[in-house]
Amino acid sequence: MLNGIRKDEENHRKLWLETGAALGLRYPIDYERPVLPESRGWIDAVGMESDVSRLFLRFAAIEMIAEMVSKEFLTSNRFRDTLGPRGCEWFRVHAEHSQGMTHEELELQLAFSFAEGNLSKELVDAVIQDTVDRFIEAAEASIRIIQ
């Protein structure tokens, strides 16, 4: 199952680059910009997480964000028209799940497995909310730049 997720994530990267291409971005030239401090915050929170169970909770939170944002964006005609079918595909694969266990479900199961039953609801909620909050801060910072 993990091998399948690895392949999915490789495909998701390709789809993300397709989204960028639909917006006129060129890889790697247009992807070499400095990372915003707010984006660095969530990247570091995930990348420097030393507790494996908490790391999987952060991964699950990222999947939750991707699904929620994708569903919301795809309701917009303007969004879909701007990106076109090719540019929307990353969002579609995150909004629509095929049969089987989702990445989020697997990551939550792994989090609980590595914690050996030591994860409270409060801790799970706190780790997931922290990850979501960091994404929101990064999104708000990005909006300020383009306004």
Output the six-digit token pair for 85: 């079918």
Output the six-digit token pair for 79: 């969004």
pLDDT in the model for residue 25:
95
User: Can you state the percent helix, strand and coil of the chain, rounding each to 5?
Assistant: 80, 0, 20
Residues in the chain: 147
Nearest by Cα to 139 from 43, 36, 33, 6: 36
Euclidean distance between CA atoms 28 and 136, whole angstroms: 26
pLDDT in the model for residue 88:
98
Half-sphere exposure of 27 (CA within 13 A, CB side): 10
pLDDT in the model for residue 44:
95
Query: Which residues of the chain have a pLDDT value below 50?
Result: none
- Where on the phi/psi map is residue 50: left (φ > 0), alpha (ψ -120 to 50), or beta? alpha
Burial label for 127, CB within 10 Å (0-12, 13-18, 19+), is buried
pLDDT in the model for residue 6:
86
Instruction: Give residue limits of the domains in the chain.
Output: 2-146
pLDDT in the model for residue 3:
83
pLDDT in the model for residue 56:
95
pLDDT in the model for residue 98:
67
pLDDT in the model for residue 100:
78
